[in-house]
Copies of this chain bind each other. A is one copy, B any other.
Amino acid sequence: MTDPAGELTIRPFVDDDWPQVWAVIEPVLRAGETFPFSPELDEEQAYQLWVTIPTATWIAEDEHLGLVGSYYLKPNQPRLGDHVCNCGYIVAEPARGRGIGGALCRHSQRMAPQFGFRAMQYNLVVATNESAIHTWQRNGMTVVGRLPGAFRHPIHGHVDALIMYRSL
């Protein structure tokens, strides 16, 4: 973490970004501590989840460090609930603690209304992921519910998950 962080640019994902996005998200998904997806998923499945299924995907580039994060935006429910969006955010391990998660969160809250979304919901925020919870709370997300033991953490076993929500 001795690299000086440079200016952060958040821009739409293009397919040429995928190898770098995969390099950033693969270790996080493999760790299985924050997302429910199978830790054994392959690259094609990850592309489906991160790029194909979502409405849009963005990447964050640091002018010195390169691609340091990404997030996707998609409807959280079918038609009659599709005005509420859902996002998934990942920040590269070596770039953490620099506010990039918060920057991605704020960016998604600005972008979501442009796609017609009126609220944002996270369905399964792992209760042990305290730094993420604080980041989302600092950015206007409220814990609206707690699901006892709803996430199987590789280290901690069955842990609670939070539902977070905000109107946009």
Name A's B-contacting residues (CB within 8 A).
32, 35-39, 77-84, 118-119, 121, 123-124, 144-153, 158, 161, 163, 165, 167
A57 to B102, CA, bound (A): 42
- CB nearest neighbor in B for A37: B78
Closest CB of chain B to A108's CB: distance in Å?
A: 18
Inter-chain CA distance A163–B35, complex, in Å, is 20
A32, A124, A153: residue with the most chain B Cβ atoms closer than 10 Å: A124
Q: Is the CB of A167 within 8 A of B149?
A: yes
User: Assuming A37-B80, A81-B152, what are 19 further A-B pairs, CB within 8 angstroms?
Assistant: A32-B80, A38-B79, A77-B150, A80-B151, A80-B153, A81-B150, A83-B152, A83-B158, A118-B158, A119-B147, A119-B149, A121-B150, A144-B147, A145-B165, A147-B163, A147-B165, A148-B165, A148-B167, A149-B167
Are the C-beta atoms of B149 and A81 separated by less than 8 Å? no
Give A152's nearest chain B residue, CB to CB.
B80
A145 touches B148 (CB 8 A): no
Chosen A-B contacts, 26 in total, with CB atoms closer than 8 Å, are: A36-B78, A36-B80, A36-B81, A38-B79, A39-B79, A77-B123, A80-B152, A80-B153, A81-B124, A81-B151, A81-B152, A83-B152, A119-B147, A119-B148, A119-B150, A121-B147, A121-B150, A123-B123, A144-B146, A144-B147, A145-B163, A145-B165, A147-B165, A148-B165, A150-B165, A163-B163
